[in-house]
Amino acid sequence: MSSTAATAQPAAKPYSPGLEGVVAGETQLSFVNSELKSLMYRGYDIRDLSENATFEEVAYLMLYGKLPNTTEYKTFCDALVAERTLPAPVIEALKTFPNTIHPMDALRTGTALLAMYDDEVPNNSHDANVRKAIRLTAKLPLLAAYSHRLSQGQPIVEPDNSLSHGANFLYMLLGEKPNPETAKLFDTTLIAYVDHGFNASTFAARVTTSTLSDLHSGIVSAIGTLKGPLHGGANEEAMKLLMEIPNPEAAEAFILDALATKKKIMGFGHRAYKNGDPRAVLLNEKAKDLCERTGQMRWFNTAKIVQDVMLREKNIHPNVDFPTAYIYYVMGLPIPIYTPMFAIARIAGWSAHVIEQLDHNKLIRPSVLYTGPQHVAYVPMVQR
C-alpha cells in the first residue's frame, strides 16, 4: 500500500438525535409499552395501582421492590411522617429567597441545602440510600409548600401528621384540608407521575450518580432537568393555553388558528407513546368526575375539544401533562407550583433509579460524533 494512502476510518456508529430509540441501560422499575398503551411500575399497571393503591404504597413498591403488607405499610408511613420537618437553617434560607424566584429553583436549592444536614450523604450503601430516599420523599413537599407560601407573603402552614402524604401537601399549600375525593384524585396524579423509564430527569440523576456521586446530587440534577418546559413545565404551559380560550365553543377555532400560525400546543405528543399516553386516558376520566362535582365542566369540555381537534388535525394524542393541568386548576392549585408537584411524585422514582444505578454501577459515558474541523494550524495573534 502506498505510504500516502488515506488511513481507513472505522465505520461510523449510528447516531440518533436526542438518543431517541437508543437503549441506555436496564431497569426493573418501570416499563413503557407504546403498542399496548400501558405503563407498569415493577410489573403493576398504573391503572390498577391508581384505582387501588395510595401514593405511599407505590413509593414503597419503588424503593423496596414489592407492595407492603399492613405492618410494612404502617412502618413506612410512620417513617415519612417522622421526616415531615426541615432543619431550621433551611427554613431560614427559604425566607431569604427573592419572591420572584422560580419555584423549581427554590426546590432545587432547598434540596441541595438538605444535603448539608444529612449525615448519611456520603454513604452510598443500598440501605443508606433507601433511608435518604424516605427523608427526601417526606421533605420535598415541605420545601415546595413553604417556599411558595413565603413567596406570596403567607405564613408557613405546619404539617398535619393525621393526613396522608398527598393530603398533607395540599393542606400545607392551601391552608385547608382537602375533601376525601380531592385527596384521592391528587394521589392518582402523584401515582401517574412516579416514574417513566429513562426520561430526561431520571437519566440525569443516573448520569450524576454513575460517577459515584451521592443521592442528593442526583436528585438536584433531576430537579434542574425537570424545570425545562419540554419536560416538567409542560403542564403549566398547557393550563396557560387553556386559559386563553374563553369558552368551549371557541376552542376549535382557537386551536385551528394556533396550528395555522405554528403556535406550540403544550401537553401533546410523547416520544414513548405514538398511540396515546395511558396516564392521560386515566386522568381525563377522573377529570370529568372532578369537573362535574365542582360545577366546572367548562374546563373538561374545552379540554376535550382541544384534544379532539389535535387528534383530527395532527393525529397527536395528549400526554399526562394536559389533563393534570386542568385537574390542578380546578382543585385551586396555583399554576407556578405544578412542576414542583411533579417532582414531589417523581422523587420516589428518581430515588429508586439512583439506588438501582449505584447497586449495579457503571459510569455512563457515551460516545460522540465529532462534526467540527480537524488539524487547524495555529496562527499567531498578530497575524489574525
pLDDT at 2: 38
CATH 1.10.580.10 fits 42-227+336-359, yes or no: yes
Is residue 6 pLDDT above 70, yes or no?
A: no
With H, G, I as helix, E, B as strand and everything else as coil, classify residue 41.
strand
pLDDT reading at 5 higher than 50 = no
3-state secondary structure 202-231: HHHHHHHHHCCCCHHHHHHHHHHHHCCCCC
CB 321 within 8 A of CB 238: yes
Mean pLDDT of 142-149: 97
- pLDDT of 12 reads 52
Within its chain, how far is the Cα of 246 from the centroid?
A: 29
| Count of other CB atoms within 10 angstroms of residue 218 | 27
Give residue-wise pLDDT tens across range 259-287: 999 988 888 877 667 777 889 999 999 99
Q: Which residues are catalytic?
A: 270, 321
Specify the pLDDT at position 9. 47
pLDDT, residue 267, reads 87
By the 8 A CB rule, do 124 and 358 touch? yes
Q: What is the reported pLDDT for 75?
A: 98
pLDDT > 60? residue 11:
no
Q: Which three cell numbers stand for residue 119?
A: 449525615
Q: Considering only CA atoms, which of 180, 187, 164, 179 is closest in space to residue 282?
A: 187
Domain ranges of the chain: 42-227+336-359, 234-330
pLDDT at 157: 97
> CA–CA separation, 66 vs 28, rounded Å?
12
Q: Where are the alpha helices (DSSP H) in the chain?
A: 46-52, 55-64, 70-82, 88-96, 103-115, 126-151, 165-174, 180-193, 200-210, 215-226, 234-244, 251-260, 278-294, 297-314, 321-330, 338-359
Sheet holding 38-41, edge to edge: 30-33, 38-41, 44-45
Q: pLDDT tens digit string along 49-101? A: 999 999 999 999 999 999 999 999 999 999 999 999 999 999 999 999 999 99
Say yes or no: do domains 42-227+336-359 and 234-330 share a fold: no
pTM: 0.91
In the predicted model, is pLDDT for residue 1 greater than 70?
no
With beta carbons less than 8 A apart as the criterion, state whether 229 and 266 touch.
yes
Sorted by sequence, the CB contacts under 8 Å of residue 255 that are 6+ apart come out as 265, 305, 306, 309, 310, 313
Contact 323, 283 (CB under 8 A): yes
Across the chain, mean pLDDT equals 92
In the CATH scheme, what is the homologous superfamily, with its name and number, of domain 234-330?
Cytochrome P450-Terp, domain 2 (1.10.230.10)
* Angle separating helix axes 88-96 and 103-115, nearest 10 degrees: 150
**What average pLDDT does this structure show over 183-190?**
96
Cross-strand partners of 317: none
pLDDT for residue 213 is more than 70:
yes
Using only C-alpha atoms, what is the Rg of the chain?
23
pLDDT class of 115 with cuts at 50, 70, 90: very high
For 230, residues 6+ apart whose C-beta sits below 8 A from its C-beta are: 200
Q: All 3 cell numbers of residue 219?
A: 436528585
CA 316 distance to own-chain centroid: 21
